[in-house]
Chain A
Amino acid sequence: MSDSSKQQQELIRNFSIIAHIDHGKSTLADRILEYTGALSNREKQDQYLDTMDLERERGITIKLQSVRLPYKAKDGKEYIINLIDTPGHVDFAYEVSRSLAACEGALLVVDAAQGVEAQTMANVYLALENDLEILPVINKVDLPSAEPERVKEEIEDLIGLDASEAVHASAKEGIGTEEILEQIVEKVPPPSGDPDSPLKALIYDSIYDSYRGVITYIRVVDGSIRKGMKVRMMATGKEFEVTDVGVFTPKPVSKDELAVGEVGFMVASIKDVKVTRVGDTITDANHPASEPLPGYRKINPMVFCGMYPVDSGDYDDLREALEKLELNDASLRYEPETSGALGFGFRCGFLGLLHMEVIQERIEREYNIPLITTAPSVVYKVYKTDGELLEIENPTLMPPQQQIDHVEEPFVRATMMVPNDFVGAVMELCQSKRGEYVDMQYLDANRVNIVYELPLAEIVYDFFDQLKSGTKGYASFDYELSGYKTSDLVKMDILLNGEPVDALSFIVHKERAYYRGRQLVEKLKKLIPRQMFEVPVQAAIGNKVVARETIRAQRKNVLAKCYGGDISRKRKLLEKQKEGKKRMKAVGNVEVPQEAFMAVLQMDDADSKK
């Protein structure tokens, strides 16, 4: 290795920022960008790194960003600091872990008033797994309610990090930015890769650009990557010629090569993000590395739901929207399906519920297509008596009970880290969700790691919300698929006016079937407005009705009020009534509001208290 390249490598620092939502990650990132001159005031726009409207609004990062910052430290040397952004939700835990794997250090930003929050802990543990140097930063010290010393103690107690040198910062006021940069230079180790080994570059994200094809975000771990080089994606085996490499300043700037330890992008006329999987290793096709980088997982969608346009005329627009979203989202799946109740639509697969909500919101907002989303489902394995195996993502497709030998459902291994006081609450919750106890470890006097096997279907319901409320938000939560197990499951059909509504069917554990059916018909009775005729709402397993409610007929709807000559008020009233109708879907001759199709999710799950 030449001395100069060795020197160059010594001056690189790669880090990311871990913070709870609202604890000021994006603002801090902006301050760092400004301080290092990467962002001129002219370009300044609040929260530069969160580029999607939705990200900025919900304060969550969905697509990752990175930026290369030149920094002249107090020691007189010119460093290159790469900031790699991370998404912030359990649905994207794998992406987080890969972007952390691209770093040597992480800033742990904690709100000086609110202290350490659950989400933060989950990511801190991911960072520790990846052997990152963690630098605590106490943010918002300018707030009157700030208690930096208490928060430091908390960091030491809860996470076991030395917080004595934690930077006191206020990203809003620009306090502490220089000190943070100095600590990064001083404490985060430089990348340790070997420039002379065959190329190994970690893919931590990719985006689709309509002019250049897929732009892959990479961290070079060993060797280097150059324009014109032939590379291979080790997991998918696909080979491409590199047409461009470069760095983000934050504007993309082309370079001849990315050397060991560097973070940047690669373009290679790739048409499909599914080829460039997050966590995969890029290597030199002519001198391939023998082993890929560790940690790659193939991500499969775990949660499925039907998405239908409210107005069937929007079907083609919906397909186009999904096509466009898929270009940028390797974990989104969709295929056409038809529902008797809802018409033509798509069955879509997602990483989790948040992922689903994000996609749904983007379609409604960016593409302006009002949607009806059916309740999410998982993939069931149905073994039929004739030996056939069906994988069912849509409850409607469940074969009749008598053809089924048995059904398996996906289980996850769920790891929850909670402060001591909440152990009882968490165990009770897991038990009520058909969980099987696996393990429990006291990490120290305060923290307990609880491991349960849980049916994924229960998590898809409202497990996360209940966990949060049951632990005042302190529990961290991560899960991975652990396999399929036989369960006593049945399909519940919902009938409106005697007609089964396929979009409302769901699969449920037999023991809870009666209860859930009862609850759902009650909920539907509340959600579906009265019609001009009586509408029975029934829940049935096979031919057996297990619950029934009746939506009484509306008996009149008339303006018998005296309005004199004031037609404008009359019209306003009628318009309001008509507007309300537009959000309804006619199922048979029953007008059903959008929310009804998600009702199965919104049941206040009293069975957790059973």
Chain B
Amino acid sequence: MKPRAVYIHIPFCAHKCHYCDFTAYVVDGQPVDQYLEALEQEMARTVEETPPTTIETIFIGGGTPTVLTPVQMERFMQAIQRYFPNRSEDIEFTVEANPGTTDPEKLAIMKEGGVNRLSFGAQTFRFDLLKKIGRTHTVEDIERSVEQSRMAGIDNVSLDLMFGLPEQTVPDMEEALARGIALYPDHFSVYSLKVEEGTLFHRKLLEGKLPLPTEDDELEMYLLTRRRLMEAGYKQYEVSNFSRPMKESRHNTTYWLNQPYYGLGAGAHGYTNGIRHENVRGVSEYIRLAHFRRPVAQMHRVEEGEAMENHFILGLRLMDGVSRTRFERLYGKSPEAVFGPVLDHLQKRQLICLKGDRYLLTEQGLLFGNEVFASFLKEVV
């Protein structure tokens, strides 16, 4: 199966957020032009190895792709066009953006390059909370950016929100949702804060200086999110994702369906020809390597057993769940033949259920997703 999805990573940001552990570097003084050149080299090598077919989705993530200057953005758009020229008519082409980093000029260039969806990292709607998590935008920035995006003709807009932030309360979340909904975006991604090692938050947590909400409050924020968004006409289609009809993120759905995708740029992951790879994270290392070869840090062939585990771990995140027929078609075995006892046990505990052709998380299973997903892992000996 040929990849029909392309992920490209732009590892630069105006500032580093306190919780961020993605590959991201503060843009000042970074060799952005050389990076874009290296990206072109990687794209060239990649499409030579795995010639692309019709591309269905492109996702430019970061970092903050919109920190590129208009000139850089234009060059970047042209490069993508050069190496992935064959695009489906209804392609979904997303760029991640931070509120306040877009302007009409840049938006016009993106639109020209084929971008038709913007995903804004709004995160929350309280300025002091935004500041505390290291975001530099204001609430007004969010509103203005969404408006500008639409004016530029990019009207498929998604907002990212976060919950479980330090000092965040349930009413804060309620307000964030209300103000988000008021902007009438097509899609919401609502993620909980996870404190990762090596971040400023992690250090604060160890020092006991990170006043995270209680588990109960965090749960309440999640349940509230589902309730409010549903009331506003959004459908939950994944653990953390909600959309208006037909506006699900098709790119991310590629991941959840365990389908192949190109992964390009520093720190990016890809899945092509049955091989998962991770690129080197360092920008200069990436630039240096891309001259000679694909700047891959590690790669491994996904054996069938692992692929089947991933299939369930990823697939059950979708509210539509895992189709038995599709599983059988892909692996030549029924899910029961592979995971019989696990599926039984999970059903007995009412964490999953079988509805028609599909295994789905139950309401309880949704809250205990990790329990469910972990049970598909083979015993580690």
Contact = CB atoms under 8 A, between A and B. Distances in A.
A445 interface: no
A568 B276 CA distance: 9
Contacts, number: 92
Nearest to B216: A555
B374 A578 contact: yes
B107 interface: no
A555 B263 CA distance: 36
A573 B192 CA distance: 16
Interface string A370-404: 00000000000000000000000000000000000
A556 B222 contact: yes
B190 interface: yes
A575 interface: yes
A575 B190 CA distance: 24
Given A560-B190, A571-B309, A573-B370, 7 more contacts: A556-B219, A558-B370, A559-B373, A560-B222, A562-B191, A565-B270, A567-B269
A577 interface: yes
B369 A571 contact: no
Contacts of B215: 554-556
A559 B370 CA distance: 6
Closest 4 A/B residue pairs (Cβ): A558-B369, A556-B367, A560-B192, A574-B374
Contact of B239 (A554, A558, A573, A577): A558
Contacts of B310: 567, 571
Interface residues of B, number: 42
B158 to A, nearest CB: 12
Contacts of B210: none
16 contacts: A532-B349, A557-B367, A558-B366, A559-B373, A560-B192, A560-B239, A561-B240, A564-B7, A564-B255, A565-B268, A567-B269, A571-B313, A575-B374, A577-B374, A578-B377, A581-B374
B189 interface: yes
A565 B278 CA distance: 10
A564 B253 CA distance: 10
Contacts of A559: 194, 239, 369-370, 373
A556 B349 CA distance: 15
Interface in A548-588: 554-562, 564-568, 570-571, 573-575, 577-579, 581
B170 interface: no
A565 B7 contact: yes
Contact of B370 (A555, A557, A565): A557
A577 B366 CA distance: 17
Contacts of A579: 380
A568 B367 CA distance: 22
Contacts of B160: 562
Most interface-central of A557, A560, A578 (chain B CB within 10 A): A560
A234 to B, nearest CB: 52
A416 to B, nearest CB: 42
B304 to A, nearest CB: 15
A565 B271 contact: yes
Interface in B265-282: 268-271, 276, 278
Contact of B313 (A554, A564, A574): A574
A562 B276 contact: no
Nearest to B376: A574
Interface string B68-112: 000000000000000000000000000000000000000000000
A564 B269 CA distance: 9
Interface of A: 532, 554-562, 564-568, 570-571, 573-575, 577-579, 581
B130 interface: no
Contacts of A558: 239, 366-370
A579 B375 CA distance: 11
Contacts of A554: 215
B289 interface: no
B368 A556 contact: yes
Contact of B368 (A532, A560, A561, A581): A532
Contacts of A573: 370
B189 A562 contact: yes
A188 B364 CA distance: 78
Nearest to B270: A565
B380 A578 contact: yes
Contacts of A575: 374, 377, 380
A326 to B, nearest CB: 30
B261 interface: yes
Most interface-central of B349, B364, B371 (chain A CB within 10 A): B371
A565 B368 contact: no
A interface: dominant SS: loop
Nearest to A556: B367
Nearest to B349: A532
Contacts of B370: 557-559, 573-574, 577
Nearest to B61: A564
B314 interface: yes
A573 B240 CA distance: 18
Given A556-B368, A558-B369, A571 B377 contact: yes
Nearest to B238: A560
Nearest to A555: B219
Contacts of A577: 370, 374
A578 B240 CA distance: 23
Contacts of B61: 564
Contact of B261 (A555, A556, A565, A581): A565
Interface in B199-231: 215-216, 218-219, 222
Interface in B343-371: 349, 364, 366-371
Interface in B19-45: none
B314 A567 contact: yes
Nearest to B164: A560
Most interface-central of A558, A570, A571 (chain B CB within 10 A): A558
Nearest to A589: B349
A561 to B, nearest CB: 4
Most interface-central of A554, A557, A577, A581 (chain B CB within 10 A): A557
B191 A561 contact: yes
Contacts of B313: 567, 570-571, 574
A380 B273 CA distance: 69
Contacts of A555: 215-216, 219, 367
Given A575-B377, A579-B380, A565 B263 contact: yes
Contacts of A562: 160, 189, 191, 240
A567 to B, nearest CB: 6
Interface string B297-309: 0000000000001
Nearest to A566: B269
Contacts of A560: 190-192, 222, 239-240
Nearest to A562: B191
A557 B368 CA distance: 4
A574 B219 contact: no
A310 B67 CA distance: 55
A393 to B, nearest CB: 35
A209 B222 CA distance: 65
B375 to A, nearest CB: 8
A570 B276 CA distance: 14
Given A560-B191, A574-B313, A574-B377, A565 B255 contact: yes
A571 B160 CA distance: 24
A413 B212 CA distance: 55
A557 B375 CA distance: 13
B370 to A, nearest CB: 5
A575 B374 CA distance: 7
Contacts of B314: 567
Nearest to B361: A558
A561 B367 contact: no
Contacts of B192: 560-561
A370 to B, nearest CB: 13
A332 to B, nearest CB: 30
Interface string B312-345: 0110000000000000000000000000000000
A567 B239 contact: no
Contacts of B270: 565
Contacts of A564: 7, 61, 255, 269
Contacts of A557: 367-371
